[in-house]
Amino acid sequence: MGWRIAAIKAAVSGRPEGMARFFASRWASPPDRNSQEFLEAYGKSPRLSPVTKISTDLSNVSGKLFRVKANGDKDEITDHPFLNFMARPNPLPYMTRSAFWKLHETYLMIKGEGQAVIERDAAGYPAELWPIPPHWVADIPRLDFPYYTIRSRDGLQRLVPVADMFVVRQLNPLDPYGRGLGDAEPVADEIETDEYMAKWAKKFFFNDATPPVLMSAPGITKDEYDRFQAAWNDRHRGVGNSHKMGIIPRDVTVNKLVDSQREMDFTESRKDLRDAVNAHFGVPPEILGIVENSNRATATQAKIIYAENVLTPRLLARQDAINAQLLPFWGEDLLWEYDDIVPEDTEFRLQ
C-alpha cells in the first residue's frame, strides 16, 4: 500500500532499524502524575478558557479531499468513503465530528497528546475513531514492544498496535521521543494561583466572621453603646449611604482588623494572571470578549491575528497527521486539506 503503509507495518513488526532502533525507548513511558489533575482543572478554572475557545473554533472546520496527479495538479473528490469517515468518525450519537475534534484538541493543548483508537471495517479501512484521555495511555511503544497500553476508567487493559492509534503529539524538547508537552503546562503556576485566589475569596464571603474594624471606648455604658450603634447603622448602612463621612462624638480607639480585597490588589492580580495566560496561548483579548481597550479596528485585526497565528498552525498539524496516518489506507495519491480560515482584510484590500 505504498511506502507510508510499509513504514507503519515496519513499526508494528517490533523490529525498528537504524536510528529508529537507537532512539526507541527501552522502558515504559507512563503519563505524568499530574495528567488527570490537569484535566480536572480544565473543568474548573476560568484561566483555561483559551483552551475551550481554540478547541471549539477548530472543532468544525471543513476540508476537501483531492486526488493529486503526477504533474502536481489536484482534482477535488466529492464522493469517497474517506469523506463519510471524516463526517462521522464515531458511532455514538453525541460523539459528532465537532465533539470529537474539540475533545481531541483539548487533550492536545492540555497535555500535548491527542490520541484515538482506530477501529477498522472488514476490509481493513479506518471506520471509527475512539478518543483516549492522555492519562489512560499507561505506556507508549518502545523497543520490541510496538503497542500502546491503554487502561480504561474501569481498570480494563488493552494493547493497541501502533497502526491502530491516531496520534497527534506536541513534542517535548526535553524528550522528543517520549510523552507530549501541553500548552497549558508552562502556565500551571499561574492557573493554580488564580484558583487559590478564587477559593480564598469564596471562603472569605462564606465563612469569615471578622469585622473589618473594632472600636473600643473605655467606660461606655450599654445605653450609649446601643444608641451609638443604631445611629451609625442608620447613617451608613446600605448602598445609598455608602462613602458618607462618619464622626465619633467621644474618645474612641479604632483598630483595623483586615485588609480589603482591593487593598490586597486581588482584582488587579487576577487580571494580570488572566492576561498572562491568554498571552501565553496567543489569544488576543478581543477574542475572549475583553474589550476594555478595544475598538472596531483592533477587534477586526484581532480576528485575523488569531486565525493566522493561533488556529491555522494547529489545524495544519492535524492535517499532516490525517494525511500521514489515516488517508494513506485509501491510496497514496490522495490529499486532505482544511479550508482557509483566515478572514479577509477588506480594509487592506480597499486601501
**pLDDT at position 267:** 73
Ordered per-residue pLDDT tens for the chain, 351 residues: 444 445 444 444 455 667 766 666 766 677 776 788 888 888 888 889 999 999 999 999 999 999 999 898 999 999 999 999 999 999 999 999 999 999 999 999 999 999 999 999 999 999 999 999 999 999 988 878 899 999 988 889 999 999 999 999 999 999 898 899 999 988 888 888 887 777 777 776 666 555 666 667 777 778 877 887 787 777 767 767 666 666 666 677 766 655 555 545 667 888 888 888 989 999 999 999 888 878 888 888 999 999 999 999 999 999 999 999 999 999 999 999 999 999 887 666 666
**pLDDT at position 200:** 73
Paired with 336 in beta bridges are 65
**pLDDT at position 7:** 46
**pLDDT at position 2:** 47
Q: Interhelix angle for 49-57 vs 266-281, to 10°?
A: 30
Pick left, alpha or beta for residue 87 (phi over 0 → left; psi -120 to 50 → alpha; otherwise beta).
Answer: alpha
pTM assigned to the model: 0.78
Give the other-Cβ count within 10 Å of 286's Cβ. Answer: 20
**CA 153 to CA 47: how far, in whole Å?**
27
Q: Is 68 exposed, middle or buried (0-12, 13-18, 19+ CB in 10 A)?
A: middle
**pLDDT at position 79:** 96
Whole-Å CA distances, 183 to 25, 116, 122, 280: 24, 19, 38, 8
**pLDDT at position 337:** 97
Helix (H) or strand (E) holding 74: strand 74-77
325 Cβ neighbours under 8 A, 6+ residues apart? 8, 166, 167
C-alpha cell at 335: 490529499
* Residue 344, φ and ψ in degrees, nearest 5: -75, 135
* Angle (nearest 5°) at CA 24 between 21 and 28: 145
The helix/strand/coil state of 45 is coil
